[in-house]
Amino acid sequence: MKKFNWKAGLYFGPTMAVFFVIQNLLLNDNINANSIIKSLVIGLVLGIVSGFLFGLIIGYFSSSKFVDRTTRIETRPDENILFQTPANHFKGMEGVGGRLYLTNKRLVFISHKLNVQNHELSIDLGNIISIDRYKNAGLLNNGLIVTSRNNNVDKFAVEQAEEWVRKLK
């Protein structure tokens, strides 16, 4: 097994468990104590299974050669990559998946090719005026907000958010 993304599975599993419980209850014509217990058990089992499978799939995908190949950056002659992690860059409602890079000159995001809004974002480090954290979707403590001199605000969901803040400040 290449990689298991337990965080993705941990968030996805309970969400799917709730979905399966509600689905079973809505599709059941005769709701009683037995059917509620059965729905809870089915929801719990299917939630755990779907969470595990989702974590496995996300782990394989994020460490795949496809993602690595499609999110590589071209560095400038006097530029070195200092830090990088998988990330999502929020453009409207879409969390565009890709990789975020910190070089000695700039912050660069490159999306992988399976997104609707493929793009590259490059911010010179001298143009960054603030770095802040936020809770993504109000729950996940993996948000990073980068504000640039031109008042552009870019939001990311990143792995190792504290490390990003430390390195960018």
Residue 118 near residue 136, CB atoms below 8 Å: no
pLDDT at 2: 47
In a domain, 76, yes or no: yes
Query: Are residues 80 and 162 located together in one domain of the fold?
Result: yes
Query: Are residues 103 and 159 located together in one domain of the fold?
Result: yes
Query: Are residues 151 and 111 located together in one domain of the fold?
Result: yes
pLDDT at 122: 96
Q: For the whole prediction, is pTM greater than 0.85? A: no
pLDDT at 166: 93
pLDDT at 3: 60
Query: Are residues 50 and 80 located together in one domain of the fold?
Result: no
pLDDT at 141: 82
In a domain, 1, yes or no: no
For residue 40, what are the domain limits? 6-63
Q: Across the chain, what does the average pLDDT equal? A: 86
Q: CB neighbours of 101 closer than 8 A, spacing ≥ 6?
A: 73, 81, 83, 84, 107, 108, 109, 110
Sign of CA dihedral 35, 36, 37, 40: positive
Positions in the chain whose pLDDT score sits under 70: 1-8, 60-64, 66-67
Please state the domain count of the chain.
2
Residue 153 near residue 139, CB atoms below 8 Å: no
pLDDT at 1: 39
Query: Are residues 130 and 151 located together in one domain of the fold?
Result: yes
Q: Which of 26, 42, 63 is the last residue of a domain?
A: 63
pLDDT at 104: 97
